Amino acid sequence: MAKVIVYPPTSMILSDLVERMGHKALVVSESVRKLATANDIQSPPLNVTPEEPKKGLRYAAVDVPSGVRGRMALIGPLIEEAEAAIVVEDPGWLTGCAGCNRTNELVRLLIRTKGVPLLDLAYPTDDAEARVFVQKIKTFLEGLK
């Protein structure tokens, strides 16, 4: 079982397909859960403390907006943990954790420079493309240990 990071990191389709094939999908909701359900809530309501942007400094410079560093505090450790990656071209409607384009550029760059097996795709627009989309993901995941 490999740990596969998916981009967008909030994608239902990609995380579902990865889990179906018996691998572990690394998604941002795991990181959110750790903060949101921690017993020792220090900074209600979301428990995002000044420590989070500091963790983001590992991936982005201090003059980068705190929103980017805050997001990287959640997504960065997932990239470090990843053994493979599936990246889907930005569809133009990303929101929430994945709604910051500068963070998304940085995430895609870090995934590409990490050197793990990578599958690049675009979201399908018709049935034929959907079959190719699913087939490529299946083949890629079957090739992982």
Partner 1 sequence: MRITKYVITSSESDILPSDIAMKIYGSKYDVNVKETCFGVVVDGEEEVINALIEEIRSLDPAGIFIKDRGFPPGDPRRCRGRRGGGARPGFYMIESEAKMLPMISRALAAVGEVPAVPAKKKPLMPNKLEDIIKEGLI
Near partner 1 by CB under 8 A: residue from 32, 64, 118, 144: 32
Fill in the amino acid letter for 113. T
Q: Choose the stretch contacting partner 1; rule: CB under 8 A; options: 13-21, 51-59, 60-68, 110-118.
A: 13-21
Strand ranges across the sheet with 3-7: 24-26, 3-7, 84-88, 118-121
Smallest gap from residue 63 Cβ to partner 1 (A): 27
Q: What backbone torsions phi and psi does residue 55 show, to the nearest 5 degrees?
A: -60, -35
Query: For residue 3, what is the enclosing H or E element?
Result: strand 3-7
Q: Per-residue string for binding with partner 1, 33-62, x by CB under 8 A?
A: x-xxx-------xx----------------
Q: Hunting for tokens 């889990």 — which residue is that?
A: 19
27 makes contact with partner 1 (CB under 8 A): yes
> What are 28's two structure tokens?
């941002």
Q: Per-residue string for binding with partner 1, 60-99, x by CB under 8 A?
A: -------------------------------x-xxxx-x-
